[in-house]
Structure 1
Amino acid sequence: MKRLILTLLCSASSILPAQGFNNKKEKAIPSKNLNEQTIHQSIQKETDKIFNKLVNIRRDFHENPELSGKEKRTQEKIKKYLLDLGIEVQTESYGHSVVGILKGGKKGKKIAWRSDMDALPNDYPDPETFKSKIKGVQHGCGHDIHMAIGLGIAEVLAKNKQSLKGTVYFVFQPEEETFKGAKEMLHNGLLSRINPDEIYGLHVTATPVGQIMVKSNEMFAYQKKIRIQLKNGLSEDELNSLGKKISNSLFRTSHGGKPWELQSIVDPKIGLTNPDTIFKDYLFTDGKFNMYSKNNESFLETYLYETNVSHLEKIIPTIQKVIEDNGYKDQFLSVSFVQENPTIINDERLTRSATEILQNLYGKNAIAPDYGQVPFFNDDFSYFQEKIPGVYFFLGGSNFEKDVIAMNHSPNFQVDEESIRTGVKSFSSLIVERLNRN
């Protein structure tokens, strides 16, 4: 998950709910179809059986993180795990990617599950006993959890292979943090080799452990890097003043909220699960513009975050007007977006189907509606969604009673490993049910 700025959780404990979701003891709702009931009971049983093994491999990934483009050891671990399950493996898609191919006992459609592999270049405090052994490199975004879940789903489904109607592809993708891996896998012909009908993925986040969250369409705000080019001659004070006026002219929030305070995503009154969340209908910038000069020209740059795609086309004209209204028409040269990665957009039909499936199998609380869009973060899973209908989920990893806060890219990032159990069980069942539906 690519993150553009850091928000600390110094005051999070005052607003976080005292207790999260924990589906460990939940039982599947009995199915009217005996065969369906049996396979989901098997999924739960197998998940529990391999849980400790998945925790151990997650901790191995955590102790041995690898940066984008250097996931060689990680690739070998994943490849061996899948081969030991009898799953066909391909590694030629791009870089250190791994694609596992599990063909079911019956013919049917094709579904892909994606897990990202790379770690972060940081050296934040890590409270875990199984800390990174690699100086300056950490799994501070939860990709170690994602890989453990992906391998767990592969093992559970492999043990139920004869009941599967179709083919499942396990796409282990490198270089997500650089927003490069998914794009390059597609560019190098991934779809010509596997061509799935649907694709799914997840990201662990700071919501309560055991809680799955999803919404149709955008999960994140649109992120754009804006660059303003001016003739040299403006002082630093003038450039600072102009930057503030531009930020103020663009600024919009709902209910007077502060969506840049990411700790609020779990607040029941204003967070993502509340229909009146502050994390919708907003536009703001990172604040202070980065200023520099080059070839007798001045540049102002910042990131902005907009929830409404229809408003994006108004941003550049608004900035140009502010510049001209403040007397800098003669100095103005250009304004443009210089970075605008695609954002996660969940397929509406598949999102509705996934929600229905998980609630029918594991209860109404198995999945929570998401009413907002998270700023700062993004994920190159969006490149897959441009080609294949897909759904991207948030999986809660925080345990507030234990002071475990899964705020990605932050100091003391931790994940309650029960999230692995929830992810493997829930998404194994989801894949089985989606394979059974035309």
Structure 2
Amino acid sequence: MCFILFILTSFAQGLKPQKSTNSLIHESIKLETDHIFNKLIKIRRSFHENPELAGKEINTQKIIQQYLVDLGLEVDTTIYGHSVVGILKGKKKGKKIAWRSDMDALLQNYPDPVAFKSQNKGIQHGCGHDVHMTIGLGIAEVLAKHKASLKGTVYFIFQPEEETFIGAKGMINDGLFSKIKPEEIYALHVSALPVGQIMVKPNEVFAYQKRIRIQLKNGLSKEQSKELTKKIQTSLSRLNPGSKPWEIQHMIDPKIGLSNPNTIYKDYLFTDNNFSTYTKNDILFLETYMYETKLANLGDIIPKVKQLIENNGYQNQLLSVSFVQENPTVVNNEKLTDLTIKALKNIYGNDVITTDNGQVPYFNDDFSYFQQKVPGVYFFLGGSNMEKGIIAMNHSPNFQVDEESIRTGVKCFSSLIVERLNKN
């Protein structure tokens, strides 16, 4: 309504609008985001109070489904688990774009310093998925108001079971992309960056995480096992001088964090400090996670470990070395990432985007499976506000999110989708 009144008033006064049609759309998006902001805060807090674990997102699904139906979207809840897919068709033909929001909460009971605490004992939205869902619904509502001028189709994918890394694959295997045909796909994750900031980079966003398993004939003492695992750690380790990329609390440090070209979070390989050591059927198992930033180096790891074990005199005991867990990592489409950066900067200024110069260890996202099918971009959205004592460090005690990040997410990514729909 505000957008229409602005146009009518301009002409009634004999004035020509001073901004392009695209600029006016983005002005309208900002106004509409502000208009529904308090409503979105209530929804986010309701999600936060009523978290549901992976595979059990029953009530969460119902809330999302009803919200999208009320907006006039087509809604499909039959694809996989408790997923929801909302389809917004513009009045004009055009590109097809998908937006993914993850739904599930965590099994944890950390201190949660907010008034709207979880009502489900031992379950918390400690990773920000309550914020992700809220932003997805906000984008849907803002874009639904522009349906008459929207060029193309937007799919809103609300994905269950992200924390267990099976929801995206489940949706794909159940025929998601036979029902919808997006040409581009986007997602975000709230992070410890300052609120109002968006960070993105082309190619790998996270380090490649692999769990390596070594099997030996039982016969090593505890001391021998400890010495061998220490040598493996040291042999595999590749770090820039003085860097400790496992200390992820520094990811927002302007001197060594992700925003600095000389960040400690690039070009590394390290393993977890402690190996899991156990015996079964007279076989000794040594297992640990490792984090490697370079895809080309992954093929060298197992031969290197085998050679080290043999060189230390255990060639007769060695049975096998293998990766037993090796999920794909998020890889942003290079061309599409550059286009989205330019679009967001053109609309909201250079300060809205921060360049990501590294790869975060430990974390990952099964959004990577969607990216294997459709060119996609995954963004980090700032949720911290140091002045308010809010630090959005995921999976940690006292995790909080400045809810202004919801306004940033809805506004910026609604505008981005409109821009991308208008590009052939």
| TM-score bucket (shorter structure) | over 0.9
Q: For residue 123 of structure 1, what is the aligned residue in structure 2?
A: 109
Aligned CA distance change for structure 1 residues 262 and 231 (closer, same or farther; 3 Å): same
Q: For residue 166 of structure 1, what is the aligned residue in structure 2?
A: 152
- Indicate the larger mover: 251-260 or 130-139: 251-260
Give deviations 1:263-316, integer Å, cap 9, x for gaps: 110000100000000000000001111001011110000000000111111111
Q: Percent identity?
A: 69
Determine if the alignment matches structure 1 residue 187 to structure 2 residue 187.
Answer: no
The alignment's TM-score, normalised by the length of structure 1, stands at 0.92
Secondary structure at the residue paired with 1:377? coil
1:137 to 111, 123, 146: 123
Equivalent positions of 1:394-413 (< 5 A) are 394-413=380-399
Q: For residue 419 of structure 2, what is the aligned residue in structure 1?
A: 433
- Indicate the larger mover: 347-356 or 32-41: 32-41
Q: For residue 13 of structure 2, what is the aligned residue in structure 1?
A: none
1:254 to 236, 240, 246: 240
Determine if the alignment matches structure 1 residue 203 to structure 2 residue 181.
Answer: no
Secondary structure at the residue paired with 2:372? helix
Q: C-alpha root-mean-square deviation of aligned residues, in Å?
A: 0.9
* Aligned-pair CA distance for 1:125: 0.6
1:376 to 340, 362, 368: 362
2:83 to 94, 97, 102: 97
Secondary structure at the residue paired with 1:37? helix
* Aligned-pair CA distance for 1:380: 0.2
Q: 1:375 and 1:328 mapped to 2: Cα distance?
A: 31
Q: 1:254 and 1:357 mapped to 2: Cα distance?
A: 34
Q: 1:383 and 1:71 mapped to 2: Cα distance?
A: 20
Which is bigger in relative contact order (C-alpha 8 A, separation at least 6)? Answer: 1
* Aligned-pair CA distance for 1:43: 0.3
- Indicate the larger mover: 231-240 or 55-64: 231-240
Q: For residue 25 of structure 1, what is the aligned residue in structure 2?
A: none
1:337 to 323, 327, 333: 323
Secondary structure at the residue paired with 1:123? coil
Runs of 4+ in 1 over 2 A off after TM superposition: none
* Aligned-pair CA distance for 1:69: 0.3
Q: 2:241 and 2:214 mapped to 1: Cα distance?
A: 30
Asked if the contact 1:246–1:322 (Cα under 8 Å) also holds between the matched residues in 2, the reply is yes
* Aligned-pair CA distance for 1:33: 6.4
Q: For residue 232 of structure 1, what is the aligned residue in structure 2?
A: 218
Residue type matched to 2:74 in 1? E
Residue type matched to 1:320 in 2? K
Secondary structure at the residue paired with 2:106? coil
Q: For residue 36 of structure 1, what is the aligned residue in structure 2?
A: 22
Q: For residue 393 of structure 1, what is the aligned residue in structure 2?
A: 379
Asked if the contact 1:223–1:341 (Cα under 8 Å) also holds between the matched residues in 2, the reply is yes
Asked if the contact 1:205–1:394 (Cα under 8 Å) also holds between the matched residues in 2, the reply is yes
Q: For residue 49 of structure 1, what is the aligned residue in structure 2?
A: 35
The alignment's TM-score, normalised by the length of structure 2, stands at 0.95
* Aligned-pair CA distance for 1:403: 1.0
Asked if the contact 1:347–1:390 (Cα under 8 Å) also holds between the matched residues in 2, the reply is yes
Task: In structure 2, list runs of 5 or more residues that go unmatched.
Answer: 1-16
Determine if the alignment matches structure 1 residue 317 to structure 2 residue 297.
Answer: no
1:363 to 337, 340, 349: 349
Between the two proteins, the alignment pairs up a number of residues equal to 408
Q: 1:109 and 1:85 mapped to 2: Cα distance?
A: 21
Residue type matched to 1:256 in 2? G
Q: 1:32 and 1:229 mapped to 2: Cα distance?
A: 71
Q: 1:252 and 1:400 mapped to 2: Cα distance?
A: 33
Q: For residue 152 of structure 1, what is the aligned residue in structure 2?
A: 138
Determine if the alignment matches structure 1 residue 69 to structure 2 residue 55.
Answer: yes
Residue type matched to 1:412 in 2? N
Residue type matched to 2:151 in 1? K
Asked if the contact 1:257–1:278 (Cα under 8 Å) also holds between the matched residues in 2, the reply is yes
Q: 1:287 and 1:316 mapped to 2: Cα distance?
A: 18
Which structure has the larger Rg? 2
Give deviations 1:213-269, integer Å, cap 9, x for gaps: 000000000000000000011111111111111000011112421000011100001
Determine if the alignment matches structure 1 residue 219 to structure 2 residue 205.
Answer: yes
Asked if the contact 1:255–1:278 (Cα under 8 Å) also holds between the matched residues in 2, the reply is no
Determine if the alignment matches structure 1 residue 283 to structure 2 residue 269.
Answer: yes
Q: For residue 87 of structure 1, what is the aligned residue in structure 2?
A: 73
Asked if the contact 1:240–1:288 (Cα under 8 Å) also holds between the matched residues in 2, the reply is no
Secondary structure at the residue paired with 1:269? coil
Determine if the alignment matches structure 1 residue 295 to structure 2 residue 289.
Answer: no
Secondary structure at the residue paired with 1:413? coil
Q: 2:220 and 2:328 mapped to 1: Cα distance?
A: 34
Q: For residue 307 of structure 1, what is the aligned residue in structure 2?
A: 293
Residue type matched to 2:377 in 1? V
Q: 1:179 and 1:145 mapped to 2: Cα distance?
A: 19
Q: 1:232 and 1:271 mapped to 2: Cα distance?
A: 43
Residue type matched to 1:143 in 2? H
Q: 2:47 and 2:240 mapped to 1: Cα distance?
A: 40
Determine if the alignment matches structure 1 residue 273 to structure 2 residue 259.
Answer: yes
Q: 2:149 and 2:326 mapped to 1: Cα distance?
A: 43
Residue type matched to 2:156 in 1? F
